[in-house]
Structure 1
Amino acid sequence: MTTESNKQVMSRFLEFINTASEALAQELISTDAVFHVPGRADPVKGPEGYLEIIAMMRSGFSDIQWTLEEMIAEDDKIAARFIMRGTHKGLFFGVPATGKSIQVQAMNIYRLSDGKFVEERGQPDLLGLLQQIGAIPS
């Protein structure tokens, strides 16, 4: 796949993470995909694993949306910088809902194969997020 086609796949991926569409998960994520999640010893796998990540985020921030701010694509890899925005409406990392808004940056590196995501290493600013909901002092 070309760099340009990988960028198009990334655009569809943004639609997926903002809607949590199971159909898009099946379309865009390889069943063998591995996603390295901060705070977890073992990666999650496949479309179901990624839906699990999104469900975890939505449990605390039901209105969460990601905006793709920057993307660099080369060969089979994409580096992306996102801004996550939402309202703390549910339990998140043991912190009850506060009603506070968040705006947090995330830097992720993806690997694609045959137009599907096969790996992600994500680095959301969890410290900033926890500070914004009052779980940790600023």
Structure 2
Amino acid sequence: MTHTDQSKTAIAVVRRNTEEVQSGGDFGLFEELFADDFVDHTPQPGVTADKPGVKILYTKLLEAFPDFNADIKWQSADGNLVTTYKIYHGTHQGEFLGIPATGRTMRFETVDAMRVVDGKIVEHWGVGNLYALVHQLGARLTVQ
């Protein structure tokens, strides 16, 4: 497989995760797309840095925001490492990050890097604008 083919394949896997698992709740596909030895180098608070931890995070997001969806703005790959810039949207219908349901809509940006090997996501690094999210949900945050 050429470097370009590897990149195209990796982008397709990451796109399926974003569109079908994160936005669509297809946890059968989640099991197919994530390697059992997956490592999250930037896990969110309260979840483990492994495959079960990511599944818990995705589940909690969909419970809190039943209409949760991602708008992929761009993706780029260097071999099997895919970087994605996306904006998440949803309506806050359940508790998230300790904030009870507000009924408010939210949107926040993320940048993720995921490594794909043999059609499976094996590593993740990411930065999400969670400050914007909690602010939109009405939480009072202060910088001291």
TM-score, with length taken from structure 1: 0.89
Match of 2:44 in 1: 38
Match of 1:59 in 2: 63
| 1:10-69 residue CA offsets vs partner (Å, 9 max, x unmatched) | 2221222112212211211101101232335851x22x3322111121232121111111
- Alpha-carbon separation, structure 2, partners of 1:17 and 1:88: 16
Task: In structure 2, list runs of 5 or more residues that go unmatched.
Answer: none
Q: State how many pairs are aligned.
A: 136
* Residue pair 1:102, 1:133 contacting (<8 A) in 2 also: yes
Deviates more, 1:117-126 or 1:32-41: 32-41
Deviates more, 1:31-40 or 1:99-108: 31-40
- Alpha-carbon separation, structure 2, partners of 1:76 and 1:34: 15
- Alpha-carbon separation, structure 1, partners of 2:15 and 2:89: 18
TM-score, with length taken from structure 2: 0.85
| 1:68-104 residue CA offsets vs partner (Å, 9 max, x unmatched) | 1111101120111111000111111111111110011
Match of 1:120 in 2: 124
In the TM superposition, residue 122 of structure 1 has moved relative to its aligned partner by 2.0
- Alpha-carbon separation, structure 2, partners of 1:50 and 1:42: 7
Percent identity (aligned): 26
Q: For residues 77-96 of structure 1, what are the structure 2 equivalents within 5 Å?
A: 77-96=81-100
In the TM superposition, residue 121 of structure 1 has moved relative to its aligned partner by 1.4
What secondary structure sits across from 2:11 in the alignment?
helix
In the TM superposition, residue 137 of structure 1 has moved relative to its aligned partner by 5.5
Q: Deviation above 6 Å: which 4+ runs of structure 1?
A: none
The root-mean-square deviation of aligned C-alpha atoms, in Å, is: 1.8
Match of 2:21 in 1: 16
| 1:102-130 residue CA offsets vs partner (Å, 9 max, x unmatched) | 01111111111111100111211100000
